[in-house]
Structure 1
């Protein structure tokens, strides 16, 4: 774990919360409990750009039109996508790429647009790339 970056607090409180607050102060809106189901691409100057985001809030389908000056950040499937949490008395439930919207979206985009790469190079051997982590919070150093 020498290459893993450490923060004073957990990564959510040290990185995610401050960044989200900074973005919200600048007018960024976060749509929670929302699943992006597709990105509609349009050719612009020999390249592709997202022109529309298709999504789902619960069971309701929706779409967001993307203006040329808008920025779209797409986080494809990752090693923490579809992750799960355990407790003091039970192990985290085992999940697969099918529990993740990120892998499905990346696979869909790559099938339609080869420039999105090959997700199978990353998600076809989940058992070999599974990452299990835990955090210890305590008041003294005797455990170490």
Structure 2
């Protein structure tokens, strides 16, 4: 797949689409490092700013994590099922930085705020939580 600078869609969004497709197709697996910014610049003949903007889009979607040594595909982790009883309220929001670190969620991944009828609140990563209503386990 190529990037077309003359297309209506911005170059950084085209690159984000391309990387997203590679992740979804399994060409880039969880935990795998993405090529360096300079590699994308050389491969597609685009600016470093366009590469950085594409990475920001993918981070915002929770698909990648960027660390000091570069970006890698985020490992979604194993899902947890929680029982939701009648009267329980479930909401979603973006976590604060301390919450994000405590829960181990990537930038751009929301959290679920589950408040039971007694007022006890739990914060859970939305990408790894299955909320089940009723009495089923």
TM interval, short-chain normalised: under 0.3
| Higher-strand-fraction structure | 2
TM-score (norm 2): 0.25
TM-score by length of 1: 0.25
Q: Work out which structure has the larger RCO, using CA pairs closer than 8 Å and 6 or more positions apart in sequence.
A: 2
